[in-house]
Amino acid sequence: MNKYIYLALIAFFSVSIFMFGWLSHCAYAPGKKIKKVTTLMKIKREKELNVVLLNSSSTYYIGINGPTGFEYDLLASYAKHLDVKLNITAAHTIAQAIKFSQNPNIHITSASLTKTLQREEAFNFGPSYFEVQEQVICHRGMLRTNKFPRDVEDLAGLNIMVGVDTSYSQTIKSLKNDGFDINATFTSEFSTEELLQKVSSHEIDCTVADSNIYALNLRYFPEIAMAFSISGREQLSWLLQEDTPELKADMYSWLNTFNQQGKMIQLKDHYYSYVLFFDYYNTKMFYKRIKSRLPKYKKMFEEAGTRFGIPWTLLASISYQESHWNPKAKSFTGVRGLMMLTKNTAKLLGVKNRLDPKQSIIGGTRHIKQMLKFVPKEVSGEDRLKFALAAYNIGLGHIRDAQSLAREIGLNDNIWSDLKIVLPLLSQKKFYRDLKYGYARGEEPVKYVESIYNYRDILENRTSVSITK
């Protein structure tokens, strides 16, 4: 009997061990393993992308129509790609942005940060999205003296201030270590934009800023001037948390597609194209007339904008481009008034007196609204207004010719960044001789549209919290 009990016990334990091994194998088979929740998976699961954005004109600010800025638009596009909400934490200096980036709940920090060797040792950078150079920016009035610097040696004796913990402060310290005599103050109180403002008011002689920041702020602070570049080409990149390879890979893939689709070119064109048309004297006069002339007509522009659904700042900018806000303006071709209407156009629009500011503004706005109706439905977003303005300047027929020519040479005829490449070709015989409407001074509508949007951006900067302390 003992023998049978002994055999039964052996059999029981053998079966138990087998079952335990089999169940363990099933539980930990490759298909059954519990996967680690990655940052990218968490973002998609929680439907929220948490980002730190530097509150500045080059990155992110609240404009007259809501959030805007080059880096804001980029991250908004990435959030749309992920199908998640963009949750923004605003930083007011680069040092503050870097501090905020240490919060483990922050996924991406976007603060116009250059990927320097020192930073690469301390941070995990994502893809690069812009190329810049550090530039020494000084007060324009110094050009009339022998104090305006032309190289690093000329910085001796000048009052220079840069932000602490910026790449600029690293550059200045490196130059001082190399033996250059530079009297620089490092501040945590002011952003780069605020330092540019201090240069403009000549509270300090010079500061250092990336080329894109200088370009964007030149229209806001026309008394600043670029002295010389103080660095080679550098890349702006996003900061990511450590151990986020899936998020980094997805960002690289998305940005590559974004570039291939031509969207990056469009975005850069939207924010930086006006720089080609910057004119110091005209910009100074515009600022003066904002104070002396615009107050008389601002309410009229606002009322027309509300009535026709077009931003008043754009209407005011069109009027300035046309007449410099002179209600009695008259050209040699006979167009007259604030919106410079022809006699025939005024008659069609019901304008009885072109010299009456209110009638001129209403008539001009109605004319733009009509132009918008003729813009092809394939043209979307801000480009619709730009197409309409170009047609307002040169005529709808020439715009259609330009679209036809764009298709012939392999460009997209429904985006402004491509159309403005084609428009100047309308003045060349080899192109215009085969077009329906023939010759046109195609450079003019390009300058016209870019100038208007430059004026609009200045107006919106003055009427919104574009640069905060």
Class for domain 40-127+248-261, per CATH? Answer: alpha beta
Cα–Cα dist 370/67, whole Å: 28
pLDDT, one tens digit per residue, over 381-402 is 889 999 999 998 888 899 999 9
Helical H runs in 206-292?
211-217, 245-260, 263-272, 280-292
The answer to whether residues 49 and 75 touch, using CB atoms and an 8 Å cutoff, is: yes
Q: pLDDT under 70 in the chain at which residues?
A: 1-35, 64-65, 276-277, 463-469
- Catalytic residue selected from 71, 194, 322, 450: 322
CA distance readout (Å), 228 to 154, 186, 213, 352: 11, 20, 15, 54
Provide the whole-model pTM.
0.74
Q: What is the pLDDT of residues 311-345, one digit of tens each?
A: 999 999 999 999 999 999 988 778 899 999 989 99
CA distances 14 to 17, 80, 384, Å, are 5, 58, 79
Q: For 119-142, how does the pLDDT look when each residue is reduced to its tens digit (9 = 90+)? A: 888 899 999 999 999 999 999 999
The two tokens of residue 400 are 């259609």
**CATH code reported for the domain at 281-462:** 1.10.530.10
pLDDT for the residue numbered 266: 86
In CATH, 134-232 is 3.40.50.1700: no
Confirm whether 322 is a catalytic residue.
yes
- Between the alpha carbon of residue 441 and those of residues 90, 275, 329, 432, 437, the distances in Å are 45, 21, 23, 11, 12
